[in-house]
Structure 1
Amino acid sequence: MKQHVGWTAGTAAAVLVAAGAITYAVAGDGGSSSTPSADSADAGFARDMAVHHQQAVEMSYIVRDRTKDEEVRRLAYDIAQTQANQRGMLLGWLDLWGLPKVSSDAPMTWMGMGDMASGKDGALMPGMATNTEMKKLGTLSGKQAEIFYLQLMTDHHKGGIHMAESCVDKCAVDVEKRLAQGMVEGQQSEIDLMSDMLKERGAKPRS
């Protein structure tokens, strides 16, 4: 079991390097015959989900240091590894397409929902934790940290699923659509798991 939890920032960095190598091998395997434009759904999803994923990785590193519970630490490891990998692919595609990783447009504009991205207290998109919530997570320990992490990550996944479903519908690059569909399925499975984990701890999702 210990091999699952003895992870460091270096692990995520290695995953990103590996993902970057994979990216260039698969980004052109179908879909649109032309490079996506900067205001396309493909580019918008890649930019927004990279930001969304980064916070999930950060939350997972925080809870890793706030609890000794093997189940929560293993889940946090799996989420951090998966989302760091996917983030590397998304950023790699933007590089491959020659597109900027940031945009002057509000997040979720590619979904027609730019007005819902408030940026309030650091929560740039629905489902993202606020700066205050991130700080609070870093002050909790044990069961309290576990519950708050599971609640935050459940909300985070719900927001991520909404974005990924929009990419499945709107994106043109086949490999990106497939990645988005995998996110929908994987994160829904984790939401179900986290619901059970919260119940075991006498708690429930926030929404």
Structure 2
Amino acid sequence: MSAPTTTETPSLGDPTPPERPDTGRRWGVAALALAVVVGLLLGYAGGLLTPRLTRPGNASAEAGFARDMTTHHAQAVEMGLIAFQRATDPEVRSIGGDIALGQQGEMGAMQSWLRSWGLDPTGSQPPMSWMPDGAMTVKNGLMPGMATPEEMAALRAAQGRDLDVRFLTMMIKHHLGGIHMIDAVLDATDEPDVVRTAQTMKNTQQTDLTNLQNALKRLNG
């Protein structure tokens, strides 16, 4: 006869407990996931807030340059349009049109900076106060290179070759003053948009100067 089959049952003293979920590990994973989410949110918020916290302020060199150079450019645009519309020399007309078009676009760029920084297009500070020696460069309320009201009136009234020569002479002086202002802001800022645009302005005005000077020499014979 075969031996009777018996079923073993664990004794109450069995040292092996039943298997339980690893709650400690589960909480560790959840904490890690929460930390990642919080980190991402903080990083996102930091990305949004950092430009707001570090953008140029109302009395900054960047804001002062944008405001003053807009005024400076506005006069150059008027001078360029006068030459484009009424100069007798084709090269002078072409130069005037290029300057008016280019500087009008740069004025738009500078005004967009001020809007993005939450600043007014005009400020209460005196002209050139953003430069360390700015007050010394202002003559009779005019920034470097700018024409006087009398000079602008004479240019508007000029005709023929006189208009051509006046425009070239005045614009050479105007660009030299503008480059002085550009060099000052390049020394004062590390704002990427300002550095990039200011350097482009300088390169363009240096090329313009060569063309203006060569045209003036040709007209003067």
The 1-side partners of 2:62 and 2:52 are apart by 10
Higher relative contact order (CA 8 A, sep 6+): 1
Matched, 1:54 2:43: no
TM-score, normalised to structure 2, is: 0.73
Residue 188 of structure 1 aligns to which amino acid in structure 2?
A: Q
Residue 159 of structure 2 aligns to which amino acid in structure 1?
A: S
What residue in structure 2 maps to residue 73 of structure 1? 93
Residue 84 of structure 1 aligns to which amino acid in structure 2?
A: Q
What residue in structure 2 maps to residue 96 of structure 1? 116
| Aligned match for 1:111, one of 117, 131, 134 | 131
- 1:33-79 Cα shifts (integer Å, max 9, x gaps): 72110111111111111111000001111223332322111111110
8 Å CA contact 1:63, 1:149 repeated in 2: yes
8 Å CA contact 1:116, 1:125 repeated in 2: no
Instruction: Report the alpha carbon displacement of residue 97 of structure 1 after superposing the two structures with TM.
Output: 0.8
What residue in structure 2 maps to residue 190 of structure 1? 208
What residue in structure 1 maps to residue 20 of structure 2? none
Structure 2: state its 5+ residue gaps.
1-47
May I ask how many residue pairs the two structures share in their alignment?
173
Instruction: Report the alpha carbon displacement of residue 105 of structure 1 after superposing the two structures with TM.
Output: 1.4
TM-score, normalised to structure 1, is: 0.77
What residue in structure 2 maps to residue 82 of structure 1? 102
The 1-side partners of 2:142 and 2:123 are apart by 13
The 1-side partners of 2:111 and 2:132 are apart by 22
Structure 1: state its 5+ residue gaps.
1-27
- Sequence identity, in percent? 40
Alignment of 1:18-37 (within 5 A): 34-37=54-57
The 1-side partners of 2:102 and 2:127 are apart by 22
Runs of 4+ in 1 over 3 A off after TM superposition: none
- 1:20-39 Cα shifts (integer Å, max 9, x gaps): xxxxxxxx9xx997211011
